[in-house]
Structure 1
């Protein structure tokens, strides 16, 4: 829970996902979208129908994922 908010209760309807590839994009890419002031959704381009994982900014940083790499502001 982030600031008393369940990250999975946040709506993804208006989320704009951006891709970042670690190698050839034929291998699949990670997608990331800001879904709140301190909330992110992380998806997999090879599995677009799978529900994205949700993280707080702190959790994303602990996982070594930098939104700047996706062209997003942290």
Structure 2
């Protein structure tokens, strides 16, 4: 009979369910799963850098000079 016997784990599980409720535990599990998926996706995306799309507003800003007037091209 160790300090972490299976009976102790059952009692701890029952207390956690009583304190937090099954709905909060289900939501917590879903949130943890989504964050792990996001982390894995971010780690895979780091290996393959994708070029950033150039939006039309960014292109218009790039054509302007410091004083805000359009540059003659």
Q: Do these two structures clear the TM 0.5 threshold for a shared fold by scoring above it?
A: no
More helix per residue: 1 or 2? 2
More strand per residue: 1 or 2? 1
Normalised by the length of structure 1, the TM-score is 0.20
Structure number with greater Rg is: 2
Normalised by the length of structure 2, the TM-score is 0.20
- The answer to which structure, 1 or 2, has the higher relative contact order (CA under 8 A, 6+ apart) is 1
